[in-house]
Amino acid sequence: MVASYVFYGTWNPPFAALLFATTALDFYLGARMGAASEPRARRVWLVVSLVVNLSMLGFFKYGNFLLQNFEGLVGLLGFVYKAPHLDIILPVGISFYTFHSLSYTLDVYSGVIKPTKSLRDFVLAVSFFPQLVAGPIVRAADFLPQCVKAPLWNRDRFLWGLWLMNLGLFEKVVLADALLSGSANSVFGHAAPLCALDAWTGTIAFAGQIFFDFAGYSTCAIGAALCLGFQLKDNFRFPYAAVVFFDFWRRWHISLSTFLRDFLYIPLGGNRGGAGRAAMNLIIVMFLGGLWHGAAWTFVAWGILHGCYLVIERVLIGVFAGKIQASGRLTQVFLGLLTYVAVCVGWVFFRAKDFSTALRLLHSMFNGGGGELILSTREILQVGIVTVLTIIFHWRLKISPSRKRPAGCPAGFSERLGPLWAAPSS
Amino acid sequence: MSSSTFNFERHVPPVRWTQIAVFAALLLMVGVVGWELHCRHAGYAPTVNDSMELWSARRCAVAPDSVVIIGDSRAWFDLDLDELEKGLGKRPVQLALSGSTVFPVLENLCNDEKFHGTIICSVLPVMYFVPAGPPLKRSQDAVDHYLHQPLSERLDLPLAMFLEQRLAFMNMQELTLEEMLKSLPIPDRVGVAHGPNLPPYFNSMNPERQARMIERCVQPGPLQDLVRRTWPPLFTPPPPPPGVTQEQAMRQFGLAFEQRLKASVSAVERLRQRGGKIVFVRFPCSGPLKELEAKNTPRERTWDVLLRATNVPGIHFEDHPELNAFECPEYSHLKPDDVAEFTRRLVPYLKASL
């Protein structure tokens, strides 16, 4: 716990106090909720927790965004209002630790866990340094039980944890930063139309970069936690081998998608209110999921686009029920590549700094030529090779990765080293 | 509602972990030693990397009455801190940044209410008046990094410098994976727009950020030729962007020039109000580069204008035969053997100007 606070404090010491305040408040609210016998009282404490946590997140992360939009809105109504720019420092990891802490009061309210009596355990659960600043979003219900009994040191688990940390660093430092980020930055930072090859290369470079960056960090976090004897669940499971979008969201940032499913989609009614209501719920969830990633309308557009993908897919699955599952390998690969391309189109909105950049890039991707050539042949080859290998690996490893020898991996590799090969699932 | 209850145990593969760990450690050791030997054989020596972390640390070392060197790579290569300390009575802090526009650093020091010391500012007109692009970004990034540096990076710097001074392969200018991939001989498609290439590794640096040209570049040979060839594209203004005529581009540049001039006057004025002092220095260059600079940024339209507008004393190497007596091996910087002598000759002019 002390190490976690020192880790956080090395970024900006005063903000460690904010982290503790959020944690202590939810600990208190959880205890009050546990002590309350009336459902109404429990609901009041939950509302207090939601309002305080989300207000904190809203102020630090969305303060300026909300003010700018308010300025634009009153401008549309004919009023002149110049919003002040708030000089707010965004606390590192606030989106993650707010959800860590919030998951506790939500799970206590729904009866999944009983309120913990140990503030120390809860402080550790929220601030545990491997997952503190970039996830995965670890639910209190998953972490608190592990604090009851101090984990015993185990050599094999420790070395496996070290291996995972190495693998995560490789994904982040070599694949994301050294091999992919340069092309993505050049393409998304270019202020003029590009030729289709360059536009696509930059986009798929970003698709790979964000995966290896995020999955690499998650793998490091899982490995670091394992070295200390704690278990964190997988956050990515070969997402670029997803055949459909529902499959993609079961494989991409799993800790966020399950959080949103359990605490937003299902309380909104989930699938229970008919197809129209379910579609609306999906769009709402993906809208908020997009906004969670950043305070800009481009993130919202990314979220809504994925919401639309999911709704359209649900309609199509209704029409072609059973046929996709029964279809051959080739159809599966075709659908997988189609999903990958659509996901890449979504990444354009996610990465572009504004809508004009996103639309210019999409135009370059689909108009067939006429723009500038800015990437060297070496960069195109580099991105192409990494992307093709990533997709092949994802496809080969997505089925029971830890037990079967992936096709094509060396003979004798299966039982002993197969799991090392398959570890990127984290 | 929630599906999450703790029932998860990560599968640890049943392999011989001890043997794997020993094998991995041996492999790592052999790899590191082999790579280090290869890098030294290829002509690299341990050197401190010119990182933003180090620059920020040196900026933090600026005391209210310090003597500070700012500017481009010429101030970085061509000044000897020992000689300046002997001549001026204070050891200067070296903040010059290669390939940069000095203005953001100058403005940062002039806006620093605590600072009332002395600034030795290298002015290379082609860099000083750049309105945008990588040279401006480089120094702006350095200032931003100094203003927002996290504590973790300050703690990390001593370890990084300890390793960099002992291991040649930690050279970040050329020996990162990214830089090595860039040097692969893969021909480009026709029509690919390239920015000018930056010079290859040709200097070392000490923890005080004092740079020196390496011997392979001092002597005639392929490295010296390569460095010489990188200057003309870097010292030639780029063509106007698509859709902008040459006249429009010149007009825009003229406006940006005037803005930079006004901002310089204002920054220098703020420094002087607090009792601070500043001197502009034009460092030597040679050969075709000297001619190119004279053609693209004529003295009477850049250096003289800046001095007149800001009323800052200036030392131009061409005005003093003893400063103009040095040849730059790769046309742009002094060789290490000349640096101390050049600085000794410069000190009287600095004292007279300050």
CA distance B52 to chain A (A): 17
Amino acid identity for residue A359 in this structure: L
**Which is the catalytic residue, given A100, A293, A306, A363?**
A293
Q: Flag whether pLDDT at B30 surpasses 90.
A: yes
Round to whole Å and give the CA distance between A386 and A178.
Answer: 11
CA distance B219 to chain A (A): 32
Interface contacts A/B by beta carbons within 8 Å? 114
Instruction: Spell out which residues of chain B touch residue A121, defining contact as CB-CB under 8 Å.
Output: none
Residue A165, both tokens: 């940390």
For residues A290 and A304, is the Cβ–Cβ distance under 8 A?
yes
| Residues A223, A234, B178: CA angle, nearest 5 degrees | 60
One domain, residues A176 and A120: no
Per-residue confidence at A353, pLDDT binned at 50, 70, 90? very high
B41 touches chain A (CB under 8 A): no
- pLDDT at residue A60 in the model: 77
- pLDDT at residue A5 in the model: 84
| Residues B32, B56, B349: CA angle, nearest 5 degrees | 115
Q: Which of B15, B22, B151, B175 to mutate to test the interface with A (most CBs of A within 10 A)?
A: B15
Domain final position from A125, A148, A171: A148
For residues B142 and B55, is the Cβ–Cβ distance under 8 A?
yes
Lowest mean pLDDT of A126-140, A340-354, B1-15, B282-296, name the range: B1-15
Helix (H, G, I), strand (E, B) or coil at A372: strand
Q: Flag whether pLDDT at A175 surpasses 90.
A: yes
B4 touches chain A (CB under 8 A): yes
Round to whole Å and give the CA distance between A174 and A178.
Answer: 5
A37 touches chain B (CB under 8 A): no
Round to whole Å and give the CA distance between A161 and A181.
Answer: 27
The mean per-residue pLDDT over the stretch B136-156 comes to: 88
The mean per-residue pLDDT over the stretch B211-230 comes to: 91
- Number of domains present in the structure of chain A: 2
Integer CA distances (angstroms), A380 to A187, A204, A210, A374, A387, in order: 12, 10, 18, 10, 10
Helix (H, G, I), strand (E, B) or coil at A34: helix
Question: Hey, are the CB atoms on A139 and B4 less than 8 Å from each other?
Answer: yes
- pLDDT at residue A88 in the model: 66
Instruction: Spell out which residues of chain A touch residue B53, defining contact as CB-CB under 8 Å.
Output: none
Q: Which of A146, A149, A160, A415 to mutate to test the interface with B (most CBs of B within 10 A)?
A: A160
Q: 10 Å Cβ neighbour count for A289? A: 24
- Across the interface, which of A159, A231, A374 has its CB nearest the CB of B193? A374
- pLDDT at residue A419 in the model: 39
Q: Flag whether pLDDT at A407 surpasses 50.
A: no
Would you list the DSSP string of A103-157? HHHHHHHTTSSPPPS-HHHHHHHHH-HHHHTT-----HHHHHHHHHSPPPP-HHH
Instruction: Spell out which residues of chain B touch residue A179, defining contact as CB-CB under 8 Å.
Output: 177-178, 181
- Across the interface, which of A112, A155, A418 has its CB nearest the CB of B2? A112
For B152, the closest chain A residue by CA position comes to A10
Question: Hey, are the CB atoms on A145 and B178 less than 8 Å from each other?
Answer: no
Lowest mean pLDDT of A99-113, B13-27, B231-245, name the range: B231-245
Q: Flag whether pLDDT at A91 surpasses 80.
A: no
In the stretch 168-227 of chain A, residues with CB closer than 8 A to chain B read 174, 177-179, 182, 192, 222, 226
Q: Which of A104, A108, A112 to mutate to test the interface with B (most CBs of B within 10 A)?
A: A112
One domain, residues A196 and A79: no
Q: Flag whether pLDDT at B142 surpasses 50.
A: yes
Per-residue confidence at A52, pLDDT binned at 50, 70, 90? confident
Per-residue confidence at A402, pLDDT binned at 50, 70, 90? very low
- A320 burial level (CB within 10 Å; 0-12, 13-18, 19+): exposed
The mean per-residue pLDDT over the stretch A294-323 comes to: 86
Q: Taken in order A39, A45, A47, A49, is the CA torsion positive or negative?
A: negative
Question: Hey, are the CB atoms on A420 and B192 less than 8 Å from each other?
Answer: no
B186 touches chain A (CB under 8 A): yes
Look over chain A and give the mean of its residue pLDDT values, rounded to a whole number: 84
B159 touches chain A (CB under 8 A): no
**Looking at the domain B66-134+209-353, which fold is it?**
Rossmann fold (3.40.50)
Task: End-to-end CA distance of chain B: give it in Å, rounded.
Answer: 75
One domain, residues A143 and A180: no
Residues of the domain holding A80: 2-148
Closest C-alpha to A112, from A238, A259, A224, A6: A259
CA distance A327 to chain B (A): 31
Round to whole Å and give the CA distance between A3 and A17.
Answer: 15
Domain final position from A121, A148, A175: A148
One domain, residues A139 and A165: no
For B191, the closest chain A residue by CA position comes to A373
A143 touches chain B (CB under 8 A): yes
Given the DSSP bridges, would you call strands B203-205 and B118-122 parallel, antiparallel or unpaired?
A: unpaired
Question: Hey, are the CB atoms on A156 and B12 less than 8 Å from each other?
Answer: yes
Helix (H, G, I), strand (E, B) or coil at A299: helix
- pLDDT at residue A69 in the model: 77
Round to whole Å and give the CA distance between B146 and B142.
Answer: 6
pLDDT per residue as tens digits for the range A114-152: 888 888 888 888 888 888 777 788 888 888 888 877 777
For residues A153 and B15, is the Cβ–Cβ distance under 8 A?
no
Per-residue confidence at A403, pLDDT binned at 50, 70, 90? very low
pLDDT per residue as tens digits for the range A356-392: 999 999 999 998 667 888 999 999 999 999 999 999 9
One domain, residues A104 and A184: no
| Residues B226, B228, B233: CA angle, nearest 5 degrees | 100
Q: Flag whether pLDDT at A409 surpasses 50.
A: no
For B187, the closest chain A residue by CA position comes to A377
Helix (H, G, I), strand (E, B) or coil at A59: helix
Round to whole Å and give the CA distance between A416 and A240.
Answer: 26
Q: Is A100 a catalytic residue?
A: no
- A135 burial level (CB within 10 Å; 0-12, 13-18, 19+): buried
One domain, residues A171 and A101: no
For residues A219 and A162, is the Cβ–Cβ distance under 8 A?
no
Question: Hey, are the CB atoms on B9 and A179 less than 8 Å from each other?
Answer: no
One domain, residues A228 and A323: yes
pLDDT per residue as tens digits for the range B166-191: 999 998 888 999 889 988 888 888 88
In the stretch 120-139 of chain A, residues with CB closer than 8 A to chain B read 139
pLDDT per residue as tens digits for the range B42-60: 888 898 998 999 999 999 9
Lowest mean pLDDT of A100-104, A176-180, B56-60, B107-111, name the range: A100-104
- pLDDT at residue A86 in the model: 64
Lowest mean pLDDT of A97-106, A258-267, A304-313, A411-420, name the range: A411-420
One domain, residues A121 and A166: no
Question: Hey, are the CB atoms on B189 and A377 less than 8 Å from each other?
Answer: yes
Question: Hey, are the CB atoms on A375 and B192 less than 8 Å from each other?
Answer: yes
One domain, residues A194 and A141: no
- Across the interface, which of A178, A222, A266 has its CB nearest the CB of B178? A178
Instruction: Spell out which residues of chain A touch residue B13, defining contact as CB-CB under 8 Å.
Output: 160, 402, 416-420
Residue B178, both tokens: 């990214």
Integer CA distances (angstroms), A414 to A308, A400, B13, B166, in order: 41, 12, 11, 41
pLDDT per residue as tens digits for the range B264-294: 999 999 999 999 999 999 999 999 999 999 9
Helix (H, G, I), strand (E, B) or coil at A88: coil
- Across the interface, which of A107, A375, A418 has its CB nearest the CB of B2? A107
Q: Flag whether pLDDT at B300 surpasses 80.
A: yes
Integer CA distances (angstroms), A143 to A123, A200, A401, in order: 11, 41, 25
- pLDDT at residue A347 in the model: 96
Domain final position from A148, A175, A193: A148
Question: Hey, are the CB atoms on B13 and A419 less than 8 Å from each other?
Answer: yes
B182 touches chain A (CB under 8 A): yes
The mean per-residue pLDDT over the stretch A12-33 comes to: 85
Per-residue confidence at B1, pLDDT binned at 50, 70, 90? very low
CA distance A143 to chain B (A): 7
- A311 burial level (CB within 10 Å; 0-12, 13-18, 19+): buried
- A280 burial level (CB within 10 Å; 0-12, 13-18, 19+): middle
One domain, residues A281 and A217: yes
One domain, residues A143 and A213: no
CA distance B84 to chain A (A): 37
For B17, the closest chain A residue by CA position comes to A156
- pLDDT at residue A406 in the model: 41
The residue written with tokens 């590191």 in the block is B32
- pLDDT at residue B6 in the model: 54
The residue written with tokens 């290439």 in the block is B197
**For chain B, domain boundaries:** 66-134+209-353
DSSP symbol at A409:
S
Q: Which of A147, A254, A379 to mutate to test the interface with B (most CBs of B within 10 A)?
A: A379
> Can you give the three-state secondary structure of chain B, one letter per residue?
CCCCCCCCCCCCCCCCHHHHHHHHHHHHHHHHHHHHHHHHHCCCCCCCCCCHHHHHHHHHCCCCCCEEEECCHHHHHCCCHHHHHHHHCCCCEECCCCCCCCHHHHHHHHHCCCCCCEEEEECCHHHHCCCCCHHHHHHHHHHHHHHCCCHHHHHHHHHHHHHHCCCHHHCCCCCCHHHHHHCCCCCCCCCECCCCCCCCCCEEECCCCCEEECHHHHCCCHHHHHHHHHHHHHCCCCCCCCCCCHHHHHHHHHHHHHHHHHHHHHHHHHHHHCCCEEEEEECCCCHHHHHHHHHHCCHHHCHHHHHHHHCCCEEEHHHCCCCCCCCCCCCCCCCHHHHHHHHHHHHHHHHHHC
CA distance A158 to chain B (A): 10
Integer CA distances (angstroms), B184 to A198, A383, B192, B269, in order: 20, 15, 17, 49
pLDDT per residue as tens digits for the range B72-112: 999 999 999 999 999 999 999 999 999 899 999 999 999 99
For A380, the closest chain B residue by CA position comes to B188
- pLDDT at residue A9 in the model: 79
Round to whole Å and give the CA distance between A295 and A65.
Answer: 6
* Cis amide prior to B14 (ω within 30 degrees): no
For B193, the closest chain A residue by CA position comes to A374
Q: Which residue has the higher pLDDT, B6 or B197?
A: B197
CA distance B6 to chain A (A): 4
Say what the pTM is.
0.82
- pLDDT above 90 as % of chain B: 65
Question: Hey, are the CB atoms on B8 and A182 less than 8 Å from each other?
Answer: no
Look over chain B and give the mean of its residue pLDDT values, rounded to a whole number: 90
One domain, residues A113 and A204: no
The mean per-residue pLDDT over the stretch B145-166 comes to: 87
CA distance A144 to chain B (A): 9
Q: Flag whether pLDDT at A421 surpasses 60.
A: no
Q: Which of A105, A107, A133, A156 to mutate to test the interface with B (most CBs of B within 10 A)?
A: A156
Task: End-to-end CA distance of chain A: give it in Å, rounded.
Answer: 24
